[in-house]
Structures are given as C-alpha cells and as structure tokens.
Structure 1
Amino acid sequence: MEPLGSLILGWVGYLVLILLGVVLVAFVSFVLYVQYIHQKFDHIPGPPRDNFLLGHLPTILSYTRTPGRHINEIFLEWTETYGPVCRINSLHTAFVIVSCPEATKEILMSPKISKDPLSYKRLHSLFGTRFLGTGLVTAVDHEVWYKQRRIMDPAFSSVYLRGLIDTFNERAERLMTKLSEFADREEPVHMHKLINSFTMDVITKIAFGVDLDLLNTQDSPFPQAIETCLKGMVCHTRDPFFQLWSKNKKAVREIKEACQLLRKTGAMWINERKKAVQSGQEVPMDILTQILKSAEENKTDDDEEIMLDNFVTFFIAGQETTANQIAFAIMALGRHPEILQRLKEEVDDVLGVKQDISNEDLGRLTYLNQVLKETLRLYPTAPGTTRRIAKDMVINGIRVPGNCGLLFSSFVSSRLDRFFKDPLTFDPERFNMNAPKPYYCYFPFALGPRSCLGQNFSQIEAKVAMAKLLQRFDFSLVPGQSFEILDTGTLRPESGVMCTLKLRGTA
C-alpha cells in the first residue's frame, strides 16, 4: 500500500504543478495583453491609471458605491481636464469618452456603427437571469434591431399618440386627485414616488391595456421590482466583482427574482392578448399588439423570449426616465421661483380653468417645452450611449484604434462651458426658438437611427402632467433636502423631491 500511496501523492503533486503552471501562464498572458492594450491606447489623453492591472476601475467603483456620488461626475471632471477625446482603462479593455460635436454627429447618426457589444450585452441577463435580452435597446446587430423597430413604429407615430390624449389626461387627473389629498392634509409629498406610480400607470394602460392603479395600490410588487432591476443593472455592468462577495448573495437573489417577476408578468399579459386576438376581439394597436406582430413576422426559435425582452424594455424605460424628468423639473422650478411664476402665467393663458388638455394646447405651451428641455440638459435621465468603431478613426486630431468602445455622454456634453454658458445655471431661455440650436452636444434621447423610440410619448406625458400640476397647485420644496443626483442606471433626484402643496387660489 505504501508504494501505491506514494504513487498517488506523486501524481497529485504532478497535477498541482501542472495546474499552477497553467495559472501562471494564464496570468502572464493576461498581464502581457494588458500591456499591449496600454501601448495601443496610451497616446490618447487620459487620467493616470489607479494601477497597472485594474486601470481606472477602482475610481469607477468608488463613485459607483459611494452614496452622494455618481460615475458621470468623474467622467465630466476627466473630460474637462483631458479634453474631448479621453481614454479610460478598465482591466484589459479601454474605452474613450467623446465630447466632440463633429464626431458625435458622424458616429451617432450612422447606421453602420453599432452599439458597443461589451456594454449592451451586459444587459442581456443579470447574474444569469435574462433581463433585456436582445430587445430594442440591447440589440447590437442593425438588421435585428431594424426589424423590431419598423414594426414598433406605428405604436409611437404622431397620429397614434395624438389619439391617446384623453388617456394621458385621465391618468394625470388621477395624479391630481392624489396630490389634492396631500394638500388637504397639509402633508409633505414625495413627488418622485407619486409621479413614478403615475408614469407606470400610463405605460401599463397605454402600452399593455392593463389598469394597475398604482396611485391607490399600496402592495404592488412592480415599483420595487423595477428599482431592484435598475440597481442590479448598475452592479452587473460596472462592478465585475459584485457577485463574488458573499455579502451580496441576498442582493443577487433579489435582483434575479425581480427579473423573473417582470418576465412572468409579461408572459401572462402576452398570453391574455393572444387569446383576445384568437377569439376575434378588437384589440388596440398598442405596444403589446406590436410586440406580438413582431414575433409573427420574425419567426425564430427565441421569439417568446424576444417578446418578453421588449415587454421588460418598455415596462421599465416607458416610465422610469419620464418620472425622473418630471421630478427634476419640479425640483428645478422650486429653486427658481421667477421661472416658476412665468410658467404658471403661460399655463393660465393657454389653459385657463379647462380640465382636459388638447394636443393644440400642448403646442402652445412653448415655455413649458423650454423648461422640460432645459431639465434634460442639466439632468439627462438617460445620461449616455455607447458605440464601437470597427476601424481606426481620427477624432479631434487624435487617432482612436479600431475595435474601441466610445462613450457619448449627454451629461458630460451638456455641462461643458464650451457648449453652454454658465452650464450649471438652470436657464430655459437656452431653448428659446430664437436662441442658437445646440450643435450635437445635447442628446438626452440619443441621436440618429438608434434614438429613443418613445421620446414623443414621454414628452407628451410630461407636458400634460406638468401643465395640470402648475394649473392646480402652488408648491414649495421642503427645506433641508438634498438636490444631488442619484445614479440607478438612470439619473433621479436623490431626495425624491419633497414638496408641500396647496390648491391655487386658497389662502
């Protein structure tokens, strides 16, 4: 037995040495590849790396994990310091922050330059559970995206949206009723929370034909599920070590359960709509109908999953960013009483005491339109987009190697003083029809063929809600709250915008 035992120990030792050798070779190969990436990109200006292997990742993680800070701030600081083409290293990859209008125009307007696979494929699944998959936002291949977009377009056409004005009005009236209850009780209002319920009610009714009535429902799981998914999205895309820490096991489990809840809900609503179509019932040409149509016209082995991809995409994107924009607008107006007063005067002139807002009324609310645009300049709720160039490109006189990811940040560009005078000042006059139009430095809904499909939907919703709020209420911000930005993948007010309300015309 002793010789056999010695032989086994010898083989075990031999295997351990082989394993250590493989690990050593892999590590040396990784180090050499990182060195190669450094040599390939180091001619591009950028901040000093935190260390050789991790690049700038420690700083990025610090801004991601620290309350009161967000990653867009450091991107802005680096751009101001190192210029319109700024290199960032993360482990074995490099990407470039671009704030050059000419390059922004050339790249974002081109259908031939794809979204960055490294960025958007991270949204396919969260910790192994399918999330946005290959829906409209995350589809990298232009042809795959175009087939979906072409079928979805009718649900967002100006003609179709104009026909929805009564629904926008009805849902906004529910919000006003809820706000009146707070005003009667003289109780501070968490505006972002209520508006988030309003926008979710709107998207589920208009897009899916479902009445959730979240303004009057306390136990709905959907708001928390969406917030959990958004937090999971940040952790999954920015922190490669998040899942490795045992302290995050509970969070990872909750994120996966939230994804599953949204997808199970989508499957249930899609099946209900299928049955309605098969039984000959009349159904609206809404987003859910278009999702079914997309699956019919593009038969694949994965069509059920792609339908759910687009369901989750519209469920989240269709309410989150609009709610954030409205909340930021209220926050900004509360800090600028002279702008608020001018806006009230416009709303009074256009609407008077009428309850229902028409499409024509929306067209006449020009200063409100300026306020909403300025809100998105200073607080772009979807702060940026990425692309990947296949070949070398010269940007602002600097050669950027091919197969490089590019970040176009509306947050960064909108806060640069070379594009906007006193950029941190909230000034709606920047968007007066007679003011110079920003040249490819303002793109809160992205630009070109991959621009946001729902931007008109979003702005109609925001205008109706804001107009009714300004028509009915005087509001002021509760003293002592933060005016900082919270990064949850989208940007939202950190404080939630706490307000006191009273009906206009009351003492």
Structure 2
Amino acid sequence: MADFQGYILVFFLWLLSFILFRTIFTKNRTTTRLPPSPIALPIIGHLHLLAPIPHRALHKLSTKHGPLIHIRLGSVPCVVASSPEIAKQFLKTHESSFSNRPITAVVDYLTYGSADFSFAPYGPYWKFMKKICMSELLSGRMLDQFLPVRHEELIRFLQFMLKTANASEKVDVGGELVRLTNNIVSRMIMNDTCCNNEDEAEEVRKLVEAIAKLSGQFNLSDFIWFCKNLDLQGMNKKLKQLRDKFDSMMDRIIKEHEEARKTNKDDNTVKDLLDVLLDISQDESSEMRLTRENIKAFILDLFVAGTDTSAVTIEWALSELINHPNIMEKARQEIDIVVGKDKIVQESDITNLPYLQAIVKETLRLHPAGPMIVRESSEDCNIEGYEIPAKTRLFINVWAIGRDRNHWENPLEFRPERFVNGRSSQMDVRGQHFHLLPFGSGRRSCPGTSMALQVVQTSLAIMIQCFDWKVDGSVDMEEGPGLTLPRAHPLICAPILRLNPFPSC
C-alpha cells in the first residue's frame, strides 16, 4: 500500500514538474513577441483574475497593462482588446484572421455539433446562412411583414401593465420584458404555435432561459486541458435533458408545419421563419440543403440571441431613467409633442424621436447586452508589433470601450445628450464606429440589429409614455454575472397610469 501511494506521489510530482516546465518554457519562448501579461499561475493561468465579473476584471487589468494584453485561461491563450483603436485592428484591418468564434463543449452539444449559424466556422455554410439571414429571414421586407406581430405583443404587454397599475401592484419588469420578447421571437419563428397556449409558452421561456444560463456557465473542460473529457461539474446530464426537451418541442412543431404546408397551398399566406427554412431545405436547386439539425440549431440561435438581449437592454434603460427623472421627463415631453397623449407610440414614430434614440444609444454604451465580443484567430497575425498566434482567443471588451476616458467625456455619467449634440451625434450602433460596438462589427456582427432596435425603442417609448414607475428609493445599478449583462437584482416597480383617459389599444 505504501509503495502504491509512493507511485501516486511520484506521478503527481512529475505531472506538476512537467506543467511548470511547460509554462516557464512557453513564457520564455514567447515573452518578447506577445502583448503585456500579468503573472500567471501554473495550470489555471489567469483564470483566478477573472472573478467575479470577467469584463470588469479585464477592464481593471487593461488599466494597468494597457489596451492590448495577453492572458492564459488554463491552457487557452487569449488576447484582450480594450480600446477602439485596437478593436478596429482586430475587427477591420485583420478581420479575415478573426472571423471564427470559439466553440465550447456546451454550445457544440446544444447546437448539434455546431450545426447552427452563430458558431459555424467561417466558410461556405456560414456565408450561405448569412445571405439567407439578410435577404430572407431578417430583411426589411420580413420585418415589415411581422410588424403586426410585434404590435400585438406590445399591446398585450401594455394591457398587462395597465391591469397591474389598476390593481396598484408591483411587477418584475425584467420578467415581463422577457415574456414580451420571447413571444415576439416565438411568433416570428413559428407563428402562433406556442403563444396561443400560455403553459407551452412558459415552457419555451424557461427552456430558453436555462439554455442561455448553461451556455454562459464556466466549464473547466473548455480551459484545463487534462479536464477536457471529464465532467467534473456534472453538466452533461443537464445538457442532455435540455437538448432532449428542445428536440422534442422542435420535432413536434416542424411536423405540424409540414402537415399544414401540405394542406395549405395559398401563396398569399404569411410565412413564418420556420416556413422559409423548410422551403430552403426542400429546394433541390438551393446552393446548400439545410438538414433538420441545421434548422433546429438556427432556431435555437434566434431564441437565445433575440429574447434576453433585448429584454435586458430595455430593463437597464428604464432603470437609468428612474434614477434620472429629468431625462425621463425630457423623453416624455418629446413623445407628447410628436405623438400626443391620445394615441400609443408606434414603430413609425421612432424616427421622429431623436432623444429617445439617444437614450437607447447611451444605454447600449453603458450596458451593452454583449459586454464582450469573442473571436478566435485562424492564422498568425501581427497587431501593434506583437505576434498573435493562430488558435488564440480574442476578447473585445465592449463594456470597457464604452467607458474609455480617452474618447468619452464623463464616461460613467448617463447623458443621452452626448448623442444629440457634438461629435457623437452622428455615431450609430451598427459597427461602423469602434467607440460603440453593442452589436459587434464586420461580417460576424449581429444580423438582428434592426429588429432589436425596433423592439427596444418602441417598447421603451410605450413604457415612458404610458406610465410612471415607482420604486422604493433609487434603483440599484449593480451588474450580475452572465453572457448578456443581467442586473444583479430584478427591477421591481409599481406602474402608475400616466395618461387619463387612456388611449384605446
């Protein structure tokens, strides 16, 4: 027994020595070529420096080591860009070298071996899906086609808030916003299949929430090389349960759509996004044939990307407005002048509400729903005189760039006026200005930007126009951990009816 324990001790000492030697050797070999880096620990590298909230921790490191730093997360080499100038080099000058997204074990499993669009490697399939996205699925024509859907769901949301106000009750604003955005996405993807059944709609919301939460959870197997095939955190069982549920739901919905398509040949019928995908999958002349897994993985992308991000942006915007009543009042005056008090704000009114648009831009600057853009290099490249090897993970710290004192005056203040007057007034959020990157930039920027802005701006305008929002004291602005910059504490408000008489819906 003693001999066996001795062998185990010798093995672990050998393993530790090997790891230390490898770390020191690699550091000595590359120190002169890589960007500045904090001191790393054996095995875990710089993982210990990322707690509790990674984008904040990386921002702190950048203030000490500069806007371009090198870190090692376990056995994964990474670089972090925290200024618009460095971000532009990665996302524009060297875009072809950073057009891939890293694949995690969780995402790979949930998306049927990365059969989706968001995480597919840059290549023929990704290019085909991007073309379909921009011409068929998320084009201006399709967004106009689904305008009645968005309007109906906003009215449903408004009626719920009206009922809550009349009962003098409080509401979890974030929870109701997730319900709103999930219903919009659900109906755009598969018409009324889920939304007519409240229990089923709630099941979809919980499923999407669980998938998003698990996708953002730290997984040792993604970073520690000798843990790659180990399930030390017990995630595999949860993964299988979630994908089985999603699989079952989508198989049933796809089957229902296929049966309906056989009996309904009317060309004038409004198609949902699932119909479009099924058309492509059955088109023998299509440039690429979509498999059932491609369709399900793409729909999962839409659910996860389109639900929580928009809801959390509206929640942050309302939180800022409650804490800044003078800005809330200025926004109301603009709406009252342009729209009036006898009708509800419509999407078509937004272009005439520049201050409202400025509020949304300022919210996206301070509270970007995607606080970090993540890419992976496909080849060696040179940035600022530093050599960035292939297979290096890239983090663009969008949250930090929005707080860069070199480019934003009083960056921690919530001041929508900066987007109304001065040099920032012409700045957009679509990736052309690297000081403001809430939707990314370049070929892998968010294809759903237009839809997200329509939902966020119109929803916020309605909430400003129709209600006062009463809270106990001021709103806590603490951030929580997660992929989409959630609030640490839910926004609980009592909506108070502002318009009397209330316009008919």
How far the C-alpha of 1:354 sits from its partner, in A, is 4.9
Matched residue, 1:288: 274
How far the C-alpha of 1:324 sits from its partner, in A, is 0.6
Q: Kindly indicate whether the alpha-carbon contact (under 8 Å) linking 2:90 and 2:98 is maintained by their aligned counterparts in 1.
A: no
Q: Kindly indicate whether the alpha-carbon contact (under 8 Å) linking 2:194 and 2:200 is maintained by their aligned counterparts in 1.
A: no
Letter in 2 for 1:189: V
- The 5 A counterparts of 1:438-477 are 439-477=433-471
Residues 357 and 273 (structure 1), Cα distance of their counterparts in 2 relative to 1, 3 Å cut: farther
Q: Does 1:99 align with 2:87?
A: no
Residues 113 and 245 (structure 1), Cα distance of their counterparts in 2 relative to 1, 3 Å cut: closer
- The 5 A counterparts of 1:330-369 are 330-355=318-343, 357-369=345-357
Which secondary structure does the structure 2 equivalent of 1:88 belong to? strand
Deviations 1:404-435 (A, max 9, x none): 22211211211221221221111112222653
Q: Does 1:258 align with 2:242?
A: yes
Q: Kindly indicate whether the alpha-carbon contact (under 8 Å) linking 2:402 and 2:436 is maintained by their aligned counterparts in 1.
A: yes
TM-score normalized by the length of structure 2: 0.85
Equivalent pairs counted in the alignment come to 480
- The 5 A counterparts of 1:44-443 are 44-49=35-40, 51-60=41-50, 62-63=51-52, 70-109=53-92, 112-117=96-101, 119-125=102-108, 130=111, 133-153=114-134, 154-210=136-192, 212-213=194-195, 220-237=202-219, 248-249=233-234, 253-282=237-266, 283-296=269-282, 297=286, 303-355=291-343, 357-432=345-420, 434-436=422-424, 439-443=433-437
Cα distance in 1 between the residues matched to 2:70 and 2:216: 21
How far the C-alpha of 1:145 sits from its partner, in A, is 0.9
How far the C-alpha of 1:179 sits from its partner, in A, is 0.6
Matched residue, 1:4: none
How far the C-alpha of 1:116 sits from its partner, in A, is 4.6
How far the C-alpha of 1:122 sits from its partner, in A, is 3.7
CA RMSD of aligned residues (A): 3.3
Which secondary structure does the structure 2 equivalent of 1:386 belong to? strand
Matched residue, 1:42: 31
Q: Kindly indicate whether the alpha-carbon contact (under 8 Å) linking 2:89 and 2:383 is maintained by their aligned counterparts in 1.
A: no
Task: Spell out structure 1 runs of 4+ moving beyond 6 A.
Answer: 19-27, 241-246
Which secondary structure does the structure 2 equivalent of 1:422 belong to? coil
Deviations 1:33-69 (A, max 9, x none): 43343235434212222x2221111233x42xxxxxx
Q: Kindly indicate whether the alpha-carbon contact (under 8 Å) linking 1:37 and 1:93 is maintained by their aligned counterparts in 2.
A: no
Matched residue, 1:6: none
Which secondary structure does the structure 2 equivalent of 1:221 belong to? helix
How far the C-alpha of 1:237 sits from its partner, in A, is 4.5
Letter in 1 for 2:486: R
Cα distance in 2 between the residues matched to 1:219 and 1:389: 39
Which secondary structure does the structure 2 equivalent of 1:277 belong to? helix
How far the C-alpha of 1:224 sits from its partner, in A, is 2.3
Deviations 1:149-177 (A, max 9, x none): 11122221123323332222211011011
Cα distance in 1 between the residues matched to 2:448 and 2:312: 15
Cα distance in 2 between the residues matched to 1:441 and 1:264: 43
Gap regions ≥5 residues in structure 2: 428-432
TM-score normalized by the length of structure 1: 0.85
How far the C-alpha of 1:442 sits from its partner, in A, is 1.2
How far the C-alpha of 1:487 sits from its partner, in A, is 2.3
Deviations 1:2-55 (A, max 9, x none): xxxxxxx9xxx99x98x9999887766554443343235434212222x22211
Q: Kindly indicate whether the alpha-carbon contact (under 8 Å) linking 2:193 and 2:253 is maintained by their aligned counterparts in 1.
A: no
Identity among equivalent positions (%) equals 20
